[in-house]
Amino acid sequence: MKKFFVSTGLVAMSATALQPVFAAGLESVSPKAWSISGTLRGFYDDNYNISNTKKGSWGAEVAPTVSFNLPLQQTDMGIRYNYGLYYYNDRDSLGLNPFDQTHQVEVWLEHAINEHWHVKVTDTLSVGQEPDLLQGTGAHAVEYRINGNNLANHATVSLDTQWTKMFGTSLHYGNDFYSYDNSGGSVSAPIGVINPTNTVGYAINPGQPGYRQLNGTGASLAGLLDRIEQSVGLDLNWTLNPETVISLGYDLSWVNYIGNEPVAVFNYYYQGAPTIVQSYVYQSSSRDGMSHEVHIGLDRKITSNLSLLMTVGASFSDNSNDPFNSSQTIAPSANASLSYTYSPGSYVQLGVTHSQNATDAIQPGAKGGITQYQHATTVYADLNHRITDKLVATVIGRFQYSTFENGLAASADEEDFNLGLNLNYIINRHFSADVGYNFDDLISGLTARGYIRNRVYMGLTANF
Q: Given this model, what pLDDT does residue 143 score?
A: 54
| Lowest-confidence segment of 86-95, 128-137, 261-270 by average pLDDT | 128-137
Task: For 231-271, give the secondary structure using H, E and C.
Answer: EEEEEEEEEEECCEEEEEEEEEEEEEECCCCEEEEEEEEEC
User: What predicted TM-score, i.e. pTM, was given to this entire model?
Assistant: 0.85
Cα 363 from Cα 366, distance rounded (Å): 10
Q: How many domains does one find in the chain?
A: 1
Q: Answer yes or no: is pLDDT of 60 > 90.
A: yes
How far is Cα of residue 246 from the mean position of the Cα atoms in its chain? 27
3 is a domain residue: no
CB 68 within 8 A of CB 79: yes
Q: Summarize pLDDT for 384-439 with one digit per residue, the tens.
A: 999 999 999 999 999 999 999 998 899 899 999 999 999 999 999 999 999 999 99
Q: Given this model, what pLDDT does residue 285 score?
A: 93
4 is a domain residue: no
Interval 231-253 mean pLDDT: 97
Query: Over the chain, what is the mean pLDDT?
Result: 84
1 is a domain residue: no
Residue % of the chain over a pLDDT of 90: 65
Q: Given this model, what pLDDT does residue 29 score?
A: 42
Residues of the domain holding 59: 9-463
Interval 144-171 mean pLDDT: 91
Report helix, strand or coil for 276.
strand
Report helix, strand or coil for 431.
strand
The CATH number of residue 253's host domain is 2.40.160
* pLDDT confidence band for 242 (50 / 70 / 90): very high
Provide, for the chain, the percentages of residues in helix, strand and coil under a 3-state DSSP scheme, each rounded to the nearest 5. Answer: 5, 60, 35
Q: For residue 94, give every residue at least 6 positions away whose Cβ sits within 8 Å of its Cβ, in sequence order, or none.
A: none
2 is a domain residue: no
Cα 330 from Cα 318, distance rounded (Å): 9
Q: Answer yes or no: is pLDDT of 144 > 70.
A: no
Interval 234-238 mean pLDDT: 98
* pLDDT confidence band for 199 (50 / 70 / 90): very low
Which of the two residues, 286 and 1, has the higher pLDDT score?
A: 286
Q: Given this model, what pLDDT does residue 74 score?
A: 92
73 is a domain residue: yes
* pLDDT confidence band for 277 (50 / 70 / 90): low
H-only helix segments in 96-252: 131-135, 221-225
Q: Answer yes or no: is pLDDT of 192 > 80.
A: no
305 is a domain residue: yes
- How many helices (H) and strands (E) the chain has is answered by 3, 20
| Lowest-confidence segment of 153-162, 221-230, 265-274, 371-380 by average pLDDT | 265-274
- Of 95-99, 120-124, 320-324, highest mean pLDDT: 120-124
237 is a domain residue: yes
Q: Answer yes or no: is pLDDT of 303 > 60.
A: yes
Q: Which residues of 243-261 are buried (b: 16+ CB within 10 A; e: fewer)?
A: eebebebebebebebbbeb
CA atoms within 13 A on the CB side of 356: 24
CA pseudo-torsion sign 229, 233, 239, 240: negative
| Lowest-confidence segment of 67-71, 134-138, 379-383 by average pLDDT | 134-138
Q: Given this model, what pLDDT does residue 120 score?
A: 97
Q: Summarize pLDDT for 321-375 with one digit per residue, the tens.
A: 888 888 888 999 999 999 999 999 999 999 999 998 888 889 888 778 899 999 9
| Lowest-confidence segment of 11-25, 49-63, 67-81 by average pLDDT | 11-25
Determine how many CB atoms are found less than 10 A away from the CB of residue 271: 11
Long-range pairs, 266-270, Cβ under 8 A, ≥24: 266/324, 266/364, 266/368, 267/189, 267/190, 267/194, 267/198, 267/199, 268/199, 268/202, 268/368, 269/196, 269/199, 269/200, 269/202, 269/203, 270/203, 270/205, 270/209
Q: Answer yes or no: is pLDDT of 258 > 80.
A: yes
Dihedral pair phi/psi, residue 461, rounded to 5°: -125, 135
- Of 31-40, 277-286, 431-440, highest mean pLDDT: 431-440
Q: Summarize pLDDT for 17-26 with one digit per residue, the tens.
A: 323 333 333 3
* pLDDT confidence band for 266 (50 / 70 / 90): confident
